[in-house]
Structure 1
Amino acid sequence: MGQIRLTGNPEIAVTVRRSARARRLSLRISQLDGRVTLTLPRAVPEAEGRAFLRSKEAWLRRHLENQGAPVPVGLGTRIPLEGALHEIVAGTGRSVTRGDGVLCVPGDPDRAAARLQGYLRTLARDRLAAASDVYSAKLGKPYTRLTLRDTRSRWGSCTSDGGLMYSWRLILGHPEVLDYVAAHEVAHLRHMNHSDRFWAEVERLYGDWRAPRKWLRDHGNELHRYRFD
């Protein structure tokens, strides 16, 4: 792994990856966090990779601009929750509450983002545990544990000992997308690969998975725009 800095306004950091299996140069923008990766076949010199990168610069900048700027979360911000926009407003009492198109956050406004993140993580755990329970029962194979992270490389994962991990930001997206990711990871309890048998299992558990998978590819990066720090 190496890195190339593509000069300009703004400067773009590009991770360079060598691959013995790659047959051609390829350029990829992560739909999760906008990271750019240039893959070079083993025999291709780095100078050729730099020339390829320059030839794709206009395309690259256009796609990065379309991903949107970060959104700091606080009172007055509008964020998606289960696919619908909600405005963050000052609340009363001890807990975050959800109303018609609003999220009411009590307490110190400077702590609103942190309190809201806690609420969203709890809600995400409830939804993902419920979905995972349904799909693992349908599969006939239990999972061993469920953890949440703010992952930037994947929406979920399944370990060989049956542990499921999910990004809590799935709660921001449409419910069917969250359900699809749960079915996808539960299917890995039986097939630790992405073979045809695996995708057939996902379809048996969830149904037609193509639309939510495409939504994640096209719009998943938008869920990472919202900054709670």
Structure 2
Amino acid sequence: MTRGLLERLTGRGPRPALPETLVLGDRPVRLEVREHPTARRIIMRLAPGGGALRLTVPRRTPVRTVLAFLDRHRGWAEERLTVAPGRVRIAPGMLLPVRGVPHRLLHDPACRTARFETAGGEATLRVGGDLPHLARRVRDVLKREARRDLQAAVDRHATTVGLLPRSLTLKDTTSRWGSCTADRRLAFSWRIVMAPPVVLDYLAAHEVAHFREMNHAPAFWTLCRSLCPETEAGRRWLKERGAELHAFDFEP
């Protein structure tokens, strides 16, 4: 938290301080507070993987108000934390989902190009390079595959609606899986390639449907379902299991 924001939150009089870490249940969790110019109330979210509790607060919210909010909603945070998937470090021998299928991660320093293979009836992903760079190399493979799958799905749906995208960007966002601007610039989380193909297809259809309907009115959902008949299954999967994909830690 910036000093300026802390000063604005605190105000006059005795100055309670916002803790940097909360203990929820028996687990320490980092507290992140962000002031937003258009916020009208405090919004609390648990970061993917349960690594942080995030608060969005209106401008000039007193610290006492924030602390009281945390006290009232501590039970909610603790309940969510108990079901949040823990962080999963990328390591040789682990199982990593790719297109919904668990792949055994194999580290082979002599392997020049990452390869998807089958060994003993098990799907594998073989990645080369030095071990300290394994997570980055795996991330690069997933981003490459995500771009390939998303571009194909977007092209197919864009042809149906008769409008082409201006651009397609990959990000590692935690608040949304995809977005579309009014001038048809698309952005997606590359982690979607870890989900089953029907989920990726739904996400692509959802954003392409915004080419015609920049809203979520009934006409939008009608178009989305016409592009992807498995829309409800895709939405349900992301709601119930999407957080699992954010639990994988690709930092070195």
Bin the TM-score by the shorter chain: 0.7 to 0.9
Which residue identity lines up with residue 210 of structure 1 in the other structure?
Answer: E
Name the structure 1 match of 2:162. 140
Quote the offset at 1:21 in angstroms: 8.9
Once the two structures are superposed, the pairs formed by residues 10-159 of structure 1 within 5 Å of their partners are 10-13=28-31, 15=33, 27-29=44-46, 36=53, 47=64, 50-91=67-108, 92-100=110-118, 101-159=123-181
SS of match in other structure, 1:191: coil
Quote the offset at 1:107 in angstroms: 2.7
Larger radius of gyration: 2
Name the structure 2 match of 1:205. 227
Select which of 155, 166, 170 maps to 2:188.
Answer: 166
Moved over 3 A (4+): 1-7, 14-22, 24-42, 44-53
Residues 108, 30 of structure 1: alpha-carbon distance in 2 compared, 3 angstrom cutoff: closer
SS of match in other structure, 1:153: coil
8 Å Cα contact 1:31-1:217 kept in structure 2: no
8 Å Cα contact 1:14-1:38 kept in structure 2: yes
Quote the offset at 1:215 in angstroms: 1.6
Q: Distance in 1 between matches of 2:51 and 2:212?
A: 32
SS of match in other structure, 2:142: helix
Quote the offset at 1:40 in angstroms: 7.6
Between Structure 1 and Structure 2, how many residues are aligned? 228
Residue by residue, what CA displacement relative to the aligned partner does 1:72-120 show, whole Å, maximum 9, x if unpaired? 2122222111112111113344211112321111232222222222111
The answer to which of 104-113 and 156-165 deviates more is: 104-113
8 Å Cα contact 2:39-2:56 kept in structure 1: no
Quote the offset at 1:171 in angstroms: 0.6
Unaligned runs of 5+ in 1: none
Name the structure 2 match of 1:222. 244
Q: Distance in 1 between matches of 2:182 and 2:250?
A: 32
Name the structure 2 match of 1:7. 22
The answer to which of 121-130 and 53-62 deviates more is: 53-62
Which residue identity lines up with residue 106 of structure 1 in the other structure?
Answer: G
8 Å Cα contact 1:33-1:221 kept in structure 2: no
What is the TM-score normalised by the length of structure 2?
0.76
Residue by residue, what CA displacement relative to the aligned partner does 1:26-70 show, whole Å, maximum 9, x if unpaired? 65445687764557899x987566445323323311312321221
Residues 51, 172 of structure 1: alpha-carbon distance in 2 compared, 3 angstrom cutoff: same
Q: Distance in 2 between matches of 1:75 and 1:208?
A: 34
Select which of 197, 217, 224 maps to 1:195.
Answer: 217
What is the TM-score normalised by the length of structure 1?
0.83
Residues 35, 197 of structure 1: alpha-carbon distance in 2 compared, 3 angstrom cutoff: farther
Q: Distance in 1 between matches of 2:244 and 2:208?
A: 25
Residues 137, 33 of structure 1: alpha-carbon distance in 2 compared, 3 angstrom cutoff: farther
Q: Distance in 1 between matches of 2:37 and 2:236?
A: 26
